[in-house]
Structure 1
Amino acid sequence: MNGSKLLKTKVDGSGYKIRFIAEQLGLTYQGFVNKINDIAKFRANEIAILCDLLKISDDERNAIFFDQYVDGQSTNNERSE
Protein backbone atom coordinates (compact mmCIF):
# COMPACT_ATOMS: atom_id res chain seq x y z
CA MET A 1 0.00 0.00 0.00
CA ASN A 2 1.47 3.35 -0.94
CA GLY A 3 1.67 6.23 1.51
CA SER A 4 -1.28 8.13 0.10
CA LYS A 5 -3.57 5.11 0.38
CA LEU A 6 -2.37 4.35 3.90
CA LEU A 7 -3.03 7.94 4.96
CA LYS A 8 -6.52 7.85 3.43
CA THR A 9 -7.18 4.63 5.37
CA LYS A 10 -6.07 6.30 8.61
CA VAL A 11 -8.25 9.36 7.90
CA ASP A 12 -11.29 7.20 7.06
CA GLY A 13 -10.79 5.08 10.18
CA SER A 14 -10.39 8.06 12.47
CA GLY A 15 -14.02 9.11 12.43
CA TYR A 16 -12.98 12.72 11.79
CA LYS A 17 -14.30 14.67 8.85
CA ILE A 18 -11.74 15.90 6.33
CA ARG A 19 -12.74 19.51 7.01
CA PHE A 20 -12.03 19.07 10.75
CA ILE A 21 -8.58 17.58 10.09
CA ALA A 22 -7.81 20.38 7.63
CA GLU A 23 -8.74 22.97 10.26
CA GLN A 24 -6.47 21.31 12.83
CA LEU A 25 -3.62 21.62 10.33
CA GLY A 26 -4.43 25.23 9.50
CA LEU A 27 -5.33 24.25 5.94
CA THR A 28 -8.35 24.74 3.76
CA TYR A 29 -10.40 21.70 2.84
CA GLN A 30 -8.94 21.78 -0.69
CA GLY A 31 -5.42 22.30 0.62
CA PHE A 32 -5.67 19.15 2.73
CA VAL A 33 -7.23 17.15 -0.10
CA ASN A 34 -4.37 18.21 -2.37
CA LYS A 35 -1.87 16.93 0.18
CA ILE A 36 -3.53 13.56 0.77
CA ASN A 37 -3.72 13.10 -3.01
CA ASP A 38 0.02 13.86 -3.43
CA ILE A 39 -0.62 17.08 -5.35
CA ALA A 40 1.15 19.07 -2.62
CA LYS A 41 3.61 18.00 0.09
CA PHE A 42 3.04 18.03 3.84
CA ARG A 43 5.21 20.26 6.02
CA ALA A 44 6.93 18.82 9.09
CA ASN A 45 4.57 20.52 11.55
CA GLU A 46 1.55 19.17 9.63
CA ILE A 47 2.97 15.65 9.79
CA ALA A 48 3.45 15.98 13.56
CA ILE A 49 -0.13 17.18 14.06
CA LEU A 50 -1.53 14.40 11.86
CA CYS A 51 0.44 11.72 13.70
CA ASP A 52 -0.91 12.95 17.03
CA LEU A 53 -4.48 13.43 15.82
CA LEU A 54 -4.75 10.15 13.89
CA LYS A 55 -2.60 8.07 16.28
CA ILE A 56 -0.11 7.26 13.53
CA SER A 57 2.82 5.17 14.76
CA ASP A 58 6.43 5.90 13.85
CA ASP A 59 6.47 2.99 11.39
CA GLU A 60 3.23 4.16 9.78
CA ARG A 61 4.56 7.74 9.64
CA ASN A 62 7.67 6.56 7.82
CA ALA A 63 5.63 4.46 5.38
CA ILE A 64 3.18 7.29 4.68
CA PHE A 65 5.48 10.29 4.43
CA PHE A 66 9.03 9.04 3.91
CA ASP A 67 8.90 5.64 2.20
CA GLN A 68 9.93 7.07 -1.17
CA TYR A 69 13.07 8.52 0.41
CA VAL A 70 14.21 5.49 2.41
CA ASP A 71 15.70 2.40 0.79
CA GLY A 72 15.36 0.16 3.85
CA GLN A 73 19.07 0.07 4.58
CA SER A 74 20.34 1.22 7.92
CA THR A 75 23.64 2.94 8.50
CA ASN A 76 23.32 3.69 12.21
CA ASN A 77 23.03 0.08 13.34
CA GLU A 78 25.58 -1.35 10.94
CA ARG A 79 28.63 0.71 11.80
CA SER A 80 31.74 -1.26 12.47
CA GLU A 81 33.79 -0.03 15.37
Structure 2
Amino acid sequence: MTNTIELEIAIKRSGLTKREIAKQLGLSEMGLYKKIKNITEFKASEIFLLSKILAINDKEKIFFSEKVI
Protein backbone atom coordinates (compact mmCIF):
# COMPACT_ATOMS: atom_id res chain seq x y z
CA MET A 1 0.00 0.00 0.00
CA THR A 2 1.07 3.54 -0.67
CA ASN A 3 1.93 5.92 2.15
CA THR A 4 -0.06 8.87 0.83
CA ILE A 5 1.53 11.51 3.06
CA GLU A 6 5.10 10.56 2.11
CA LEU A 7 4.18 10.46 -1.58
CA GLU A 8 2.48 13.87 -1.40
CA ILE A 9 5.62 15.28 0.24
CA ALA A 10 7.80 13.82 -2.54
CA ILE A 11 5.48 15.33 -5.18
CA LYS A 12 5.63 18.80 -3.59
CA ARG A 13 9.39 18.56 -3.23
CA SER A 14 9.72 17.74 -6.94
CA GLY A 15 8.06 21.00 -8.02
CA LEU A 16 5.97 19.11 -10.60
CA THR A 17 2.20 19.21 -10.78
CA LYS A 18 0.16 16.06 -10.50
CA ARG A 19 -1.03 16.73 -14.06
CA GLU A 20 2.59 16.67 -15.29
CA ILE A 21 3.35 13.52 -13.31
CA ALA A 22 0.23 11.74 -14.56
CA LYS A 23 1.15 12.60 -18.15
CA GLN A 24 4.67 11.20 -17.71
CA LEU A 25 3.20 8.00 -16.26
CA GLY A 26 0.65 7.70 -19.05
CA LEU A 27 -2.23 8.09 -16.60
CA SER A 28 -5.17 10.44 -16.35
CA GLU A 29 -5.18 12.84 -13.42
CA MET A 30 -8.01 10.80 -11.89
CA GLY A 31 -6.02 7.60 -12.40
CA LEU A 32 -3.06 9.08 -10.53
CA TYR A 33 -5.35 10.40 -7.78
CA LYS A 34 -6.83 6.92 -7.27
CA LYS A 35 -3.38 5.39 -6.97
CA ILE A 36 -2.15 8.03 -4.52
CA LYS A 37 -5.27 7.52 -2.36
CA ASN A 38 -4.97 3.68 -2.47
CA ILE A 39 -8.19 3.20 -4.39
CA THR A 40 -6.16 1.35 -7.04
CA GLU A 41 -2.58 0.09 -6.81
CA PHE A 42 0.51 1.29 -8.62
CA LYS A 43 2.02 -1.20 -11.09
CA ALA A 44 5.70 -2.07 -10.63
CA SER A 45 6.55 -0.20 -13.84
CA GLU A 46 4.75 2.92 -12.52
CA ILE A 47 6.63 2.72 -9.21
CA PHE A 48 9.92 2.45 -11.09
CA LEU A 49 9.17 5.44 -13.34
CA LEU A 50 7.64 7.56 -10.56
CA SER A 51 10.68 6.92 -8.38
CA LYS A 52 12.87 8.30 -11.16
CA ILE A 53 10.58 11.28 -11.82
CA LEU A 54 10.43 12.24 -8.14
CA ALA A 55 14.01 11.15 -7.28
CA ILE A 56 12.72 8.83 -4.56
CA ASN A 57 15.45 6.74 -2.95
CA ASP A 58 13.49 4.90 -0.26
CA LYS A 59 10.74 3.24 -2.31
CA GLU A 60 9.78 0.88 0.51
CA LYS A 61 8.84 3.76 2.80
CA ILE A 62 6.34 5.10 0.25
CA PHE A 63 5.12 2.25 -1.92
CA PHE A 64 5.35 -0.80 0.32
CA SER A 65 4.13 0.65 3.57
CA GLU A 66 2.07 -1.49 5.91
CA LYS A 67 0.75 1.70 7.45
CA VAL A 68 -1.46 3.54 4.99
CA ILE A 69 -2.09 7.18 5.75
Give the one of 63, 66, 79 matched to 2:64: 66
Higher RCO (C-alpha 8 Å, min separation 6) = 2
Aligned AA for 1:55? Answer: A
Partner of 2:32: 32
Per the alignment, in what secondary structure is the counterpart of residue 65 of structure 2?
Answer: helix
Partner of 1:54: 54
Q: State the Cα distance separating 1:37 from its structure 2 match.
A: 1.0
Q: State the Cα distance separating 1:39 from its structure 2 match.
A: 1.0
Deviation beyond 6 Å, 4+ runs, structure 1:
none
The Cα offsets for residues 17-58 of structure 1, whole Å up to 9 and x where unpaired, read as 10110011110000001111111100000000010010000x
**Count of matched residue pairs:** 65
Give distance in 2, aligned partners of 1:23 and 1:67: 25
Higher Cα radius of gyration = 1
Give distance in 1, aligned partners of 2:59 and 2:23: 20
TM-score (norm 2): 0.88
TM-score (norm 1): 0.76
RMSD over aligned Cα atoms: 1.2
